[in-house]
Amino acid sequence: MPQIFCHDTLSLDSGDCPTIFSPILRIFMFLPQLPYPPHSGGRIVTAPLIEGLAQKHEVHLFSLTHGFDGEAEGKEQISQKVASVTTVPGTKRLDLPAMVSAIASDEPYKVHRFFKKELLAMAQKLAEERPPDAIHCQNFYTAKYATFLNAPRKVLYKENFETLLLERWAENANPLLKPLIHVERNRTREFELASCIGFDRIATISQRDEINLREAARHHRGVAEHLEDRLRTILPSIRVDDYDPKNWEGCENPFPNEGRKNLVFTGSFNYLANVEGAEWLVDEVYPLLPPDEYSLWFVGQHPDPRVHALHHPPMVHVTGSVPSVQPYLHHADASLVPLRIGGGIRLKILESMALGCPLVSTSVGCEGLHSEEDPPLWSIADSEVDFAQAIQEVCSKKTTRDSLHQWVVDRFSPDRFVQEMESLYQGPTGAIS
């Protein structure tokens, strides 16, 4: 059943949901998942943005629910910060009705999975009573909602260039799956590019994604022209205070005292890129490390059966969901990002760096986070041999946690993120045009 939460638990249906503050803008935000609890990539991005916007604007959230750990409590928490929260139940990652619907459609599977007519109807009803000044859609697969609503300003924020993710998946996929992935990639590319036309401003999460999107649009003349002065990169943020090393100095060490160096890989382990990365670490990298000296820890929710199968203490630990990743990153000898597929920005890198944890990543894992002008403070390695060597080198050095934390603060603060996004909702003159 669709659900709406308002400040002071008042119902929008009765028309008595109050304006608690003096809003500058009324913003409708369409999200694939609720921002609380902020324990995974997408939620880590949206939580500080929504918190910052809600301090000055009237923000209405529209989202699917997925039954995540702490989701019900998270909905209650976020409802105290924004004007309203409207949710409908989402579908599973692999949903048969959505797949059948997608087969008979030109739209990619993710659009069918995340577009819900019930959620749109609730947004349309609210829009009649309280017309939005701006509509924000998070990722291409929520973009369809904006086509049915009017607002002076429509903004699309892209955490990934999805087409590239599918291309990279196909490179390492089972040969039997490759034809299906190519079909889905083509449909995704067409929709992902065409959907940009419906937005006044489009923001990518990294410079690399912006370059890739512009390159793909070169073969779609109308899209390329539309993006020319409407597309820009806006780096995300994390709640940096949650990752201040000083705040975690007294936290309990989650690792057993076995004399081993503890290597942590965090994330949601039902996500294909993380599953593949975990298997690569265990099968290809770990055998190259000195025996009995290192332990791998896969810390995160929803571990896939393939990841569960890797659990073999004391060499490999699969924790499943944990209350907080901070103690693991604070006490780890190194954080690992062994990704070979995927895109966007890996917020697990920002979490690790903010806590002052030394890091080893593949090139794909840290795309968009460094440049010649702003070189990385972590090790980058792509082959099994180089990755294993980098782990040993990082673990043998002393790292100044404060300098790593400051690197994140200087580049990924919530205040900067909110201000840059506000400029998209308001337009160049600071007011809706």
For the stretch 96-119, pLDDT in tens is 888 888 888 899 999 999 999 999
My answer on whether 35 and 79 are in the same domain is yes
Q: Using N-to-C axis directions, what is the helix angle for 41-54 and 414-426, rounded to 10°?
A: 70
Closest CA to 238 of 144, 111, 142, 369: 369
Residue 178 has pLDDT above 70, yes or no: yes
Share of the chain above pLDDT 90, in %: 64
Decide: helix, strand or coil at residue 113. Answer: helix
pLDDT confidence of residue 431: 43
- pLDDT tens-place string over residues 193-218: 999 999 999 999 988 889 999 999 99
* 165 belongs to a structural domain: yes
My answer on whether 345 and 371 are in the same domain is yes
My answer on whether 188 and 304 are in the same domain is no
The CATH number that applies at residue 342 is 3.40.50.2000
Most distant CA atoms of the chain, gap in Å: 67
My answer on whether 229 and 277 are in the same domain is no
Q: Which two tokens stand for residue 20?
A: 């608690």
* 282 belongs to a structural domain: yes
Amino acid at 113: R
Burial of 229 (0-12, 13-18, 19+ CB in 10 A): exposed
* 128 belongs to a structural domain: yes
pLDDT confidence of residue 371: 76
Find the domain containing 29 and state its range. Answer: 3-237+413-426
- Identify any residues that bridge with 58 across adjacent strands, giving them in sequence order: 26
* 432 belongs to a structural domain: no
My answer on whether 169 and 246 are in the same domain is no
* 20 belongs to a structural domain: yes
My answer on whether 284 and 203 are in the same domain is no
pLDDT confidence of residue 427: 63
Q: Which two tokens stand for residue 428?
A: 């160049």
* 306 belongs to a structural domain: yes
My answer on whether 213 and 294 are in the same domain is no
My answer on whether 119 and 203 are in the same domain is yes
When divided into structural domains, the chain yields a total of: 2
When mean pLDDT is compared across 83-87, 99-103, 108-112, 391-395, the lowest value belongs to 99-103
Strands in 93-133 per DSSP E: none
pLDDT confidence of residue 3: 52
Higher pLDDT, 70 or 256: 256
* 383 belongs to a structural domain: yes
How big is the CA angle at 300 (ends 333 and 273), to the nearest 5 degrees?
95
My answer on whether 209 and 349 are in the same domain is no
- pLDDT tens-place string over residues 252-262: 999 999 999 99
My answer on whether 142 and 247 are in the same domain is no
pLDDT confidence of residue 98: 86
My answer on whether 394 and 417 are in the same domain is no
My answer on whether 82 and 149 are in the same domain is yes
Residue 49 has pLDDT above 90, yes or no: yes
Q: Considering the chain, what is the average pLDDT of its residues?
A: 89
**How far apart, in whole angstroms, are the C-alpha atoms of residue 48 and residue 60?**
15
Q: Which two tokens stand for residue 202?
A: 């489009």
Decide: helix, strand or coil at residue 135. Answer: strand
pLDDT confidence of residue 23: 52
pTM listed for this prediction: 0.84
* 111 belongs to a structural domain: yes
